[in-house]
Amino acid sequence: MADPLIRLRGVSVRFGRHAVLRDLSLSVEPHQTVCVIGESGCGKTVTLKLLVGLLKPTTGDVLFENRSVSDLGESELTKMRLRMGFLFQQAALFDSLTVFENVAFGLRAKGGYAEADIRSRVRDRLTEVGLTEAAEPKMPAELSGGMRKRVGLARALALDPDVMLYDEPTTGLDPIMTDVINELILRTRSRRPVTSIVVTHELRTVHKVADRVVMLEPVGRLKADEPQVLYDGPPAGLATATDPRVREFVEGDAARRIGAEE
C-alpha cells in the first residue's frame, strides 16, 4: 500500500462548545478518489478547510506528505496550496475577470510563465472541460451554472494540481449538467495522477466517481464512545451496509428519524 498523501490523525474541531469533528482519523492514498458524504453539519466542509490549512484542528494532526499542515510557515503553506486545486459550490469565479483571466489567475499569481505558455495552458484546460475559444472573453455573469463550474474546474486544473478538492460540485445543477460535471471529475482523474476528495450529497456522483466513500455523522448525534465515521468502503457496499444510519441516508428514508424526534 502506498504511503498516504493526506492523513487526519485523531482530529477534533470545536467552535466554542460546538464539537464538529471528534477524534477523526482518515488516510487518503495517492490517486484515490474519496467521496465524503453525510448529513448537513457533519463537518464535510470543515474537513476540506483543514486540508488546505484554512482551519486548524483543536486537537490532533492534519498531515500532507507526512508533514503537519499546522507546522507549515506562510511560504510553505502557499507552496502546498499551489499543489491543490479547488472547485467550490459557487465555482467562486472572479466576477470582474473574463473566463480567460479567471483560468489564467493561478498561473499569473505563481509567476514564471511566459504569456504564450499561459495562453496555451488556458486553451488546453478550457478544451479539457469542453469549452471553446469563444468562451474566453466572456464574463462570469454571462455564464450558466454549469458553464461556471466548468470554468472553475479549468481554473483549478491550470497549475496541474496533485490534489483536487471538490465541495458540492454538482449542487444546484440539472441532471444532465450534473452528469457532465461527474464525467469531468472522472476524466480529470484518468488524464492525470491526481488525488481527489469530493464532498457531496449526490449519490449519483458517489457511484460515478468514488473509489471509496467515507460517511460522517454529526457529532451531536453520536453517543460518547461512537466513532464519527459510519462507513468507509467502496460505493457498492453502501446499500448493504450493516449500520442502519448508512442505509437510511442512502435510501433517503427519514421515517425512523421523525419517529425518534417526536
Ligand X SMILES: Nc1ncnc2c1ncn2[C@@H]1O[C@H](COP(=O)(O)OP(=O)(O)OP(=O)(O)O)[C@@H](O)[C@H]1O
Please report, as ranges, the residues that interact with ligand X according to CB under 6 A: 15, 20, 40-46
Least distance CB 44 / ligand X (angstroms): 4
Q: Which is nearer to ligand X, 32 or 45 (CB)?
A: 45
Least distance CB 205 / ligand X (angstroms): 13
Least distance CB 58 / ligand X (angstroms): 12
Q: Which is nearer to ligand X, 55 or 129 (CB)?
A: 55
Distances, alpha carbon 232 to alpha carbons 27, 133, 213, 247, in Å? 11, 42, 6, 13
What span, in angstroms and rounded, lies between the C-alpha atoms of 141 and 93? Answer: 10
Taking a C-beta distance cutoff of 8 angstroms, is the pair 196, 32 a contact? yes
Grid cell listed for 259:
419517529
Q: Which is nearer to ligand X, 62 or 103 (CB)?
A: 62
Taking a C-beta distance cutoff of 8 angstroms, is the pair 9, 61 a contact? yes
Least distance CB 131 / ligand X (angstroms): 28
Q: Which is nearer to ligand X, 44 or 148 (CB)?
A: 44
User: Locate cell 474546474: which residue?
Assistant: 153
What are the E-state strand segments in 97-237?
A: 163-167, 195-199, 212-216, 229-233
Q: Which is nearer to ligand X, 86 or 100 (CB)?
A: 86
Q: Which is nearer to ligand X, 42 or 91 (CB)?
A: 42
The three state secondary structure string of 129-165 is: CCCCHHHCCCCHHHCCHHHHHHHHHHHHHCCCCCEEE
What span, in angstroms and rounded, lies between the C-alpha atoms of 41 and 178? Answer: 23
Least distance CB 231 / ligand X (angstroms): 15
Question: Phi and psi dihedrals of 206, rounded to 5?
Answer: -55, -50
Q: Which is nearer to ligand X, 15 or 94 (CB)?
A: 15
Taking a C-beta distance cutoff of 8 angstroms, is the pair 24, 11 a contact? yes
Least distance CB 20 / ligand X (angstroms): 4
Least distance CB 42 / ligand X (angstroms): 4
